[in-house]
Amino acid sequence: MTSAQKIPDIDALREAQARVAPHTHRTPIYTSTLLDRDCGASLMFKCENLQKVGAFKARGASNAVFSLSDEQAKNGVATHSSGNHGAALAMAAGKRGIAAHIVMPAGAPSVKKEAVAAYGANIIECAPTLIAREQALEELVGRTGAHVVHPYNDARVIAGQGTVALEILEQLDDLDMVVVPVGGGGLLAGVAVAVKSLKPGIEVVAIEPAGADDAFRSFGLGRLIPQNSPNTIADGLRAGLGELNFEIIQKHVDTILTVEDATIIEAMKLQWSRLKTVVEPSGAVSFAGVLEYPERFRGRRVALVISGGNLDLDNLPW
């Protein structure tokens, strides 16, 4: 998948919303008076950790799988994933009655591998590098003829992820900001298209782990910088930014900020204790941005996307 694909517009997002509605949850907004008081802002958390498969990825995968023609779908679907997209694609493929083949890095969290397997996917392990993942996927597709659904650099996936923002704008009024984690960029790109198409005055802010900051560097330099040796507890955000995603992000995103792993852990603890909900490190990154840059958000009405809640409860980062 390359940037030659057509960038999804608001109509594509609305079509995606109708397509995925039977297969996904309309997730709730959580709030906390104590967090608002401590942060000096009005914070509203979009709980995609309560989405099917425990992450927003169910949206993009469902949109991609259910928009395939019968001819495209006949040999199943394939992708590479550290976990959440793989589980989402396997779930969607199972609902459509087709095979799913998922290339996963050997170091992916066991809980995420177990989830992918539970949805009936065929798992192919590879070395924990993007090059190894892409090579293994290419070999797999050559062998099976499966249709590739890239985890983020895919217009259908981006449109599906953008339905998160369509729901936010239906659920909340008078927002100043929407804050989104960024790894490969599919969620950020989809959210940015939705927000800037419908409410261009709302600021779109992305948060990225400092140990995997290719989006931050790319955004600042105005050209796509490769992701090299990412080192962060936010395993879902270690992917390199996609070309198509970067094109959208350059046009529609206002700011990208980076946060340290220590702040991500602090954000996780506060969300677990104050919101009473399980948040994975990648899902806590949006709120970590508020904790690390409080002056940036003070006095504002802020929607924050909790992107997922899948993690190994026997191996917590504290």
The sign one gets for the Cα dihedral 267, 270, 271, 277 is: positive
Q: Tell me whether strands 100-105 and 147-148 are parallel, antiparallel or unpaired.
A: unpaired
Q: For the segment 256-295, what is each residue's pLDDT rounded down to a tens digit?
A: 999 999 999 999 999 999 999 999 999 999 999 999 999 9
Residues 184 and 265 in one domain: yes
> Does residue 5 lie in a domain region?
no
d(CA 39, CA 61): 34
- Tell me which residue has tokens 């046009």: 251
Q: Do 47 and 116 share a domain, yes or no? A: no
The catalytic residue among 46, 52, 57, 112 is 57
Both 136 and 237 in one domain: the answer is: no
Q: What is the DSSP letter of 55?
A: B
CA distance linking residue 49 with residue 54, whole number of Å: 5
| CA 100 – CA 174 distance, rounded (Å) | 41
CA dist 205 to 31, 181, 216, 304, Å? Answer: 19, 9, 11, 9
Domain identity same for 160 and 240: yes
In a domain, residue 172? The reply is yes
**Contact predicate 59/163, CB 8 Å:** yes
pLDDT band at 251 (very low <50, low <70, confident <90, very high): very high
If pLDDT is split at 50, 70 and 90, which confidence band does 4 have?
very low
Cα 215 to Cα 247: distance, rounded to the nearest angstrom: 12
Helix (H) or strand (E) holding 142: helix 130-144
The reply to whether 193 and 68 lie within a common domain is no
Task: Domain of residue 262: give its range.
Answer: 10-55+155-306
Strand partners, 191: none
In a domain, 225, yes or no: yes
Residue at which a domain ends, from 148, 174, 194: 148
Structural contact between residues 307 and 179, judged by C-beta atoms closer than 8 angstroms: no
Mean per-residue pLDDT over the chain, rounded: 95
pLDDT grade, residue 43 (50/70/90)? very high
Distance in angstroms (rounded) separating the CA atoms of residues 316 and 312: 7
What tens digit of pLDDT does each residue of 164-195 get?
A: 999 999 999 999 999 999 999 999 999 999 99
Domain-embedded: residue 89: yes
Q: How far is CA 237 from the centre of its chain?
A: 8
282 assigned to active site: no
Q: What is the CATH number of the domain that holds 226?
A: 3.40.50.1100
Are 50 and 62 in the same domain? no
Give yes or no: residues 49 and 65 share one domain. no
Per residue in 49-58, pLDDT (tens digit) is: 999 999 999 9
For the record, the structure tokens of 290 come out as: 């508020």
Concerning whether 307 is annotated as a catalytic residue, the answer is yes
- Phi/psi at 161 (nearest 5 deg)? -65, -30
Query: Which residue did the predictor score with more confidence, 151 or 189?
Result: 189
Q: For residue 166, which of 204, 200, 201, 194 has the smallest C-alpha distance?
A: 194
d(CA 53, CA 298): 33
The verdict on 170 and 134 lying in the same domain is no
Of 170, 165, 146, 166, nearest in space to 64 by CA: 146
